[in-house]
Amino acid sequence: MRRLTEEINKARDITEKATKAQELKDKADMLLSCREYEGETWSCKNCHRIASIKKSASEVIIQVSKGEIASGLKTLSSLINRLASS
């Protein structure tokens, strides 16, 4: 996930960013559906929290790349509120 995040940050155009964002979203979804998830352990909680944040950030990039600016801003606002309350 770190590598994909770096690639998104380095990408020069929105198409490349969106492609990498979709890859990151797919990886986050994989982690969020982990069969070995144990909600009581710190490492699992932390992994889920990070994966959830990465997924939301990826969704913002994907939405904006499709011209869905309002949806992207709504997703971003939701992400910021979630981070502020945790």
pLDDT tens-digit series, residues 48-66:
999 999 999 999 999 999 9
Q: Which of 60, 50, 72, 64 is nearest to 1 (CA)?
A: 50
65 near 15, Cβ under 8 Å?
Answer: yes
Q: Into how many domains does the chain fold?
A: 1
pLDDT of residue 29: 98
pLDDT of residue 86: 75
Torsion sign across C-alpha atoms 61, 22, 2, 37: positive
pLDDT tens-digit series, residues 3-44:
999 999 999 999 999 999 999 999 999 999 999 999 899 999
pLDDT of residue 9: 95
- The parent domain of residue 23 ranges over 2-84
pLDDT of residue 57: 96
Q: What is the DSSP letter of 12?
A: S
